[in-house]
Structure 1
């Protein structure tokens, strides 16, 4: 995979910043084959294990099909809760992003996921 286009990167970062503001910690783009951190807040350590996170978040590609046609409706996004913040994963087709945030109100995650999914659907990862 080549790096996501500057246009996609700018739109994803803009949507995340608009939805969650200063609580944004990081934004990472991924596909089945690759991962690239697009943003990391300057006060955070650069030592995160992106490959380890990517392996876990790639399971979401399987989740899309596993949850298809259930009474719950279509799979939309995942929020993981941690002691010091949250991780939100959004996948559209063959690519996705995960965003880490500081603690924030839970209802803001739906706005974040909706904005990111709309952008991902409008870009072809090829």
Structure 2
């Protein structure tokens, strides 16, 4: 993992929109591309030694999924939610880069809100 693969402005903006949409239920934020990743935020009460690389490897599969679902009758891909016993992973991919956040329990509107906010930030930024 590179020490700082994105600029301070993009990092601050992603943290801000995620914290605004999710509040204290936000666990972590990770920015990734096909080749690299950077964890931008980790809530204080969580362990720092989690195997982030495993999550990133899985979420990178979304670059291929975008192509798979490209001409779907469902419309354009927006985001992915994965449900776990104690939380959720929400992934947003825009072009060559993506972000996934881990959260406590949220309602569907909150998932949609954070995904829309992340997509807006990513859409304005080329990797």
Q: Give yes or no for TM over 0.5.
A: yes
Is 2:83 the counterpart of 1:81? yes
Trace 1:37-116 onto structure 2 (pairs within 5 A): 37-116=39-118
Which stretches in structure 1 are left out of the alignment for 5+ residues?
none
Matched residue pairs, number? 125
SS in 2 for 1:19: helix
> Whole-Å Cα distance in 2 between the matches of residues 104 and 96 of structure 1?
21
Q: What is the match of residue 5 of structure 2?
A: 3
> Whole-Å Cα distance in 1 between the matches of residues 95 and 106 of structure 2?
28
- Conservation of the 8 A alpha-carbon contact between 1:35 and 1:50: no
Q: What is the match of residue 21 of structure 2?
A: 19
Which stretches in structure 2 are left out of the alignment for 5+ residues?
none
Q: Report the alpha carbon displacement of residue 106 of structure 1 after superposing the two structures with TM.
A: 2.2
> Whole-Å Cα distance in 2 between the matches of residues 23 and 53 of structure 1?
19
- Conservation of the 8 A alpha-carbon contact between 1:92 and 1:117: yes
